[in-house]
């Protein structure tokens, strides 16, 4: 049984949250006709049947906006989203899902227009059924069994088929666009597939019971495809991402079902129960280590600098903040106070001690004292937070786990240095908090970065600052740092430039894009804290800001610059960055993946330069350039999610993560081509012998997208992760090339042209040694017996560096017949390590100059349906015709009786 919460904060975003997974959903006063109770109840029963009595929703909590009348509701967090669309491509529901097969998604996004529009039921089916479709993406990491980019494929029986699962679903091909040649739905000789403009219209009444990941809208569908009816030939994301496994096989291998036993009773479960929660302002207590271990490596100064930035610049207005410090004992430095003015922010910052006290760090004492401080503010502490920072090696931290877990506190942990307790990450994970690691490197801004990341992890982004710059550099005596950063048009409010140093105040010169000039005299300097802070009056000018920091004495010095700013207007979405890895613990030599999601609102930002900086406990950082090219670790091209494999580690232990994202003002970014896992838009159905077309998919106007096209800069920190099993000495190459996932084939005359993105010699880095290309007339043979397939001579094909575009042209053996060829590629590195087999591509070889075109029997408004077995392409195609007419809302096509009685032998569907 899943416990589900539906929540919404004051920024019109609601969430449905399911204990370990969360989802989101809108609750709007002007859309009260949308009843989430009905949708989730329907989804619960449908999910129960789809999982054969294993899963249903037990309790649902609805979070109402903070602006509504206050009541004694509990507090909550979540991440299933109902919010306005930001996509040019329309209002389709979707799940943000960019991990591998079986990996959980991030959230489900519904739009208010979708939920209040009754016409959407005719397109997607009842909302409860659609919810289960998206839930399977989110919870179990399965993928869609359709493909809007490749709606057709050629089957092993040499027939054009609609990309679907199961293949038992029936329907006919219809030409619905003017782009169809002479009104005909015909086969393109170059591809063997139907030309653009053709679509597959399903019979409304079906006998097939699967699949939910294809068309949950059909009344007969109540199951996921399993091994008995899975269509492994279809060119869809489920097959390519999950190595041709069925959705049910992937679901059953998830943690949810590994030890689960189906219910013995076939009776329907009880409906979910519903209760109300209410969004509130952030309540946080800082729990800071001031033991003697903080005297090492300048830790106290660095901590005070970071906490001051948090209090003065980062934490949102109207938040509630308290401060507790600890060593062997604990001390309350400030009870919970609401942040309502700059004076209160400064007073909170002044409450911090200036020196350590006590020898040992008793973390539990600090945490338990913070719990009392929060309870004094509000007896209902559930949903309140603690930021725990320590460098101590207290091994008894687990003794107080039960106290904070039972209270419902969310604890974010920051481990400072190598000696911090190894139990910190466990505490963060058990309470739903984030866990960070900060090295003792002097030339690092890690502490400031993680405080920004904690605030950005939840809440209303319109009231949160964004981190624009964060740089630290060791400068030789009398040396300089000269750099520029970009204030983009989405920000400019409350813009702060903060400089720190270790020994002596540097000379500071700051230039704005319109000649603004600031020096040390305009900065607020704190010589004891080694900090200089400048708040730009009013709205900071958009453009390049250049700063020059000069070391003012002869000894080496570490200088840092941090820049934060807030949204220029409350109704403007800022550009945000989220970064994380796919695992929080890993054992060598298994690879990890680093992700950075760059968005404005829910719209992806493309064309950015994204660099990940991964710092171990000691030694030099690892630098990785992340890409959004749909190759290697990146599953979808141009979706605003940048990624790369991470596999080479110098040592065991904790690692920190942050990313730097930049885009020049001159960069022209492509517009995203597709959504993440969008629900399929159904063009129409065959009902009672008539094709009934749905209204065209609604498109947003380009001016509604509000996507920034100029330059910008961002910094974002991610959670810590831990590595084990790293060899102590030199080790041999154990990293194979990554799998090719974008292999594509086309025919040009009697040749086949293959294209793909080059993997590396080590996963998606470096350069491979050679490619192995094989072909077969059986896709099954390629998948299961690749070594037995026909090899192609690739001696002339030298692999290019990872990320390059590869092209290979070859001429298959001549044949007198129409021939369907399947192709696959493996990559080999210099250590003779082989990649996994690529996705399978297909191409059709048609001998001679044969052409195939059906006449437009009824002129411009005629629809000609053409279907045939490809081996009989020229001689035996069946042509049937129907007459099309239009109305203001829907298009209808009258169908000849011959079509109504069609069978698989007459129409190859």
- 155-183: per-residue pLDDT in tens? 888 888 999 999 899 998 888 666 565 55
Q: From CA 886, how far away is CA 890, in angstroms rounded? A: 7
Extents of the domains making up the chain? 15-144+255-278, 280-458, 744-845
- Of 335, 342, 285, whose CA–CA distance to 312 is shortest? 342
HSE, CB side, 13 Å, CA atoms: give it for residue 240: 25
Q: Are 659 and 625 in contact (CB under 8 A)?
A: no
User: Which single residue is written with the structure tokens 């900086």?
Assistant: 613
* 329: region left, alpha or beta (phi > 0 left; psi from -120 to 50 alpha): beta
| CATH architecture under which domain 744-845 falls | Sandwich (2.60)
Q: How many residues does the chain have?
A: 909
Q: Where are the alpha helices (DSSP H) in 432-497?
A: 446-456
Q: What is the pLDDT, as a whole number, of residue 905? A: 27
- pLDDT tens digits for range 675-714: 667 888 888 899 988 888 888 776 655 444 456 668 999 9
Cα 734 → chain centroid: 29
Q: What pairs with residue 174 in β-bridges? A: 199
Residue 137 phi, psi (nearest 5): -60, -50
Q: How far apart are the first and last CA of the chain?
A: 39
Residues whose CB is less than 8 angstroms from the CB of residue 401 and which lie 6 or more positions away in sequence, other chains included: 426, 427, 430
Residues whose CB is less than 8 angstroms from the CB of residue 302 and which lie 6 or more positions away in sequence, other chains included: 447
The DSSP element (H or E) to which 146 belongs, if any, is: none
Residue 787 phi, psi (nearest 5): -65, -20
The three-class DSSP label of residue 452 is helix
- Of 55, 144, 162, whose CA–CA distance to 93 is shortest? 144
- Of 379, 240, 311, 343, whose CA–CA distance to 740 is shortest? 240
Torsion of CA 214, 216, 218, 220, to 10 degrees: 100
The reply to whether 785 belongs to the active site is no
User: Which single residue is written with the structure tokens 């092993």?
Assistant: 156
Residue 589: is the preceding peptide bond cis (ω within 30°)?
A: yes
**Which parts of the chain have pLDDT scores under 70?**
1-36, 63-79, 86-90, 176-184, 259-266, 279, 394, 459, 666-676, 698-709, 848-909
Q: Where are the alpha helices (DSSP H) in 259-315?
A: 299-309
The three-class DSSP label of residue 69 is coil
Q: Work out the number of other CB atoms within 10 angstroms of the CB of residue 849.
A: 6
Q: What pairs with residue 448 in β-bridges? A: none
- Annotated active-site residue in 42, 134, 176, 557: 134
Whether the full predicted model's pTM is greater than 0.85, yes or no, is yes
Tokens at residue 752, please? 């086949």
Q: What is the pLDDT, as a whole number, of residue 847? A: 76
The DSSP element (H or E) to which 38 belongs, if any, is: helix 36-50
Sheet holding 751-757, edge to edge: 744-748, 751-757, 805-810
Task: Indicate the CATH number for domain 280-458.
Answer: 3.40.50.410
Q: Are 867 and 878 in contact (CB under 8 A)?
A: yes
- Of 65, 62, 41, 44, whose CA–CA distance to 275 is shortest? 62
Q: From CA 274, how far away is CA 821, in angstroms rounded? A: 55
């Amino acid at each position: 049984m899943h416990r589900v919460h539906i929540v919404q904060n004051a920024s019109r975003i609601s969430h449905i949250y399911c204990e370990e997974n969360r989802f989101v959903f809108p609750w709007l006063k002007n859309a009260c006709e949308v009843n989430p109770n009905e949708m989730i109840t329907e989804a619960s029963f449908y999910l129960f049947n789809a999982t054969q009595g294993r899963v249903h929703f037990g309790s649902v909590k609805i979070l109402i906006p903070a602006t509504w009348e206050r009541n004694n509701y509990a507090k909550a967090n979540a991440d299933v989203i109902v919010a306005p669309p930001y996509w040019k491509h329309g209002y389709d529901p979707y799940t943000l899902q960019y991990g591998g097969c079986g990996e959980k998604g991030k959230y489900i996004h519904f739009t208010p227009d979708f939920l209040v529009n009754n016409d959407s039921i005719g397109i997607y089916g009842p909302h409860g059924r659609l919810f289960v479709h998206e839930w399977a993406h989110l919870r179990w990491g399965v993928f869609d069994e359709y493909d809007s980019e490749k709606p057709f494929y050629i089957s092993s029986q040499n027939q054009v088929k609609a990309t679907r699962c199961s293949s038992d679903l029936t329907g006919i091909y219809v030409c619905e666009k003017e782009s169809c040649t002479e009104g005909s739905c015909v086969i393109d000789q170059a591809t063997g597939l139907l030309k653009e403009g053709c679509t597959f219209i399903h019979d409304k009444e079906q006998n097939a019971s699967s699949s939910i990941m294809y068309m949950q809208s059909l009344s007969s569908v109540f199951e996921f495809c399993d091994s008995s009816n899975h269509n492994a030939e279809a060119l869809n994301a489920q097959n390519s991402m999950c190595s041709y496994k069925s959705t049910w096989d992937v679901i059953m291998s998830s943690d949810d079902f590994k030890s689960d036993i189906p219910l013995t009773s076939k009776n329907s479960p009880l409906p979910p129960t519903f209760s109300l929660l209410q969004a509130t302002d952030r309540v946080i207590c800082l729990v800071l280590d001031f033991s003697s271990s903080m005297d090492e490596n300048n830790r106290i100064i660095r901590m005070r600098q970071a906490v001051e930035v948090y209090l003065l610049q980062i934490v949102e207005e109207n938040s509630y903040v308290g401060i507790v410090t600890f060593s062997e004992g604990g001390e309350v430095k400030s009870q919970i106070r609401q942040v309502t003015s700059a004076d209160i922010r400064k007073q909170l910052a002044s409450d911090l001690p200036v020196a350590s006290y006590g020898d040992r760090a008793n973390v539990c004492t600090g945490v338990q004292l913070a719990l009392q401080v929060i309870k004094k503010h509000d007896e209902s502490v559930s949903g309140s937070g603690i930021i725990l920072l320590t460098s101590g090696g207290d091994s008894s931290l687990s003794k107080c786990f039960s106290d904070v877990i039972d209270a419902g506190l969310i604890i974010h942990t920051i481990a400072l240095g190598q000696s911090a307790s190894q139990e910190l990450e466990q505490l963060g994970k058990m309470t739903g908090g984030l866990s960070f690691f900060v090295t003792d490197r002097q030339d690092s801004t890690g502490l400031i970065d993680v405080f920004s990341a904690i605030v950005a992890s939840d809440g209303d982004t319109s009231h949160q600052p964004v981190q624009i710059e964060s740089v630290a550099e060791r400068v030789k005596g009398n040396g300089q740092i000269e750099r520029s950063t970009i204030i983009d048009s989405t920000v400019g409010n409350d813009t702060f430039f903060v400089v720190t140093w270790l020994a002596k105040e540097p000379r500071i010169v700051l230039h704005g894009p319109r000649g603004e000039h600031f020096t040390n005299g305009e900065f607020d300097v704190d010589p004891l804290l080694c900090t200089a802070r400048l708040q730009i009056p009013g709205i900071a000018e958009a453009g390049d800001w250049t700063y020059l920091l000069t070391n003012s004495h002869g000894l080496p010095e570490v200088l840092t610059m941090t820049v934060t700013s807030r949204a220029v207007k409350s109704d403007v979405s800022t550009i945000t960055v989220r970064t994380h890895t796919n695992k929080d613990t890993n054992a060598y030599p298994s690879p990890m993946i680093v992700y950075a999601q760059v968005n404005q609102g829910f719209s992806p930002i493309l064309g950015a330069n994204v660099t990940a900086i991964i710092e171990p406990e000691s030694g030099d950082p690892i630098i990785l350039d992340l890409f959004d090219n749909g190759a290697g670790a990146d599953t979808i091209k141009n979706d605003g999610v940048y990624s790369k494999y991470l596999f080479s580690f110098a040592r065991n232990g904790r690692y920190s993560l942050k990313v730097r994202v930049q885009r020049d003002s001159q960069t022209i970014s492509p517009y995203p081509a597709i959504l993440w896992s969008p629900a399929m838009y159904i063009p129409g159905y065959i009902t009672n012998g008539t094709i009934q077309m749905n209204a065209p998919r609604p498109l947003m106007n380009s001016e509604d997208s509000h996507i920034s096209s100029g330059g910008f800069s961002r910094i974002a920190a991610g959670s810590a992760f831990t590595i084990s099993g790293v060899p102590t000495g030199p080790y041999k190459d154990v990293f194979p090339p990554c799998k090719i996932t974008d292999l594509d084939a086309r025919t040009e005359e009697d040749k086949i042209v293959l294209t793909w993105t080059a993997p590396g010699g080590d996963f998606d880095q470096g350069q491979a040694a050679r490619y192995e290309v094989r072909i077969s007339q059986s896709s099954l043979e390629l998948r299961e017996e690749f070594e037995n397939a026909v090899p192609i001579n690739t001696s002339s094909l030298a692999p290019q560096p990872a990320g390059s575009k590869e092209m290979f042209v070859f001429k298959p053996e001549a044949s007198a017949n129409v021939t369907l060829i399947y192709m696959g590629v493996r990559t080999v590195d210099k250590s003779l390590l082989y990649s996994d087999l690529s996705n399978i591509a297909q191409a059709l070889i048609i001998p001679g100059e044969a052409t195939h075109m059906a006449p437009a029997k009824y002129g411009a408004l005629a629809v000609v349906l053409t279907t045939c077995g490809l081996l009989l392409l020229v001689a035996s195609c069946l042509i049937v015709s129907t007459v099309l007419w239009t109305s203001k809302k829907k298009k209808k096509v009258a169908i000849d009786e011959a079509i109504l009685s069609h069978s698989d032998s007459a129409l190859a569907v």
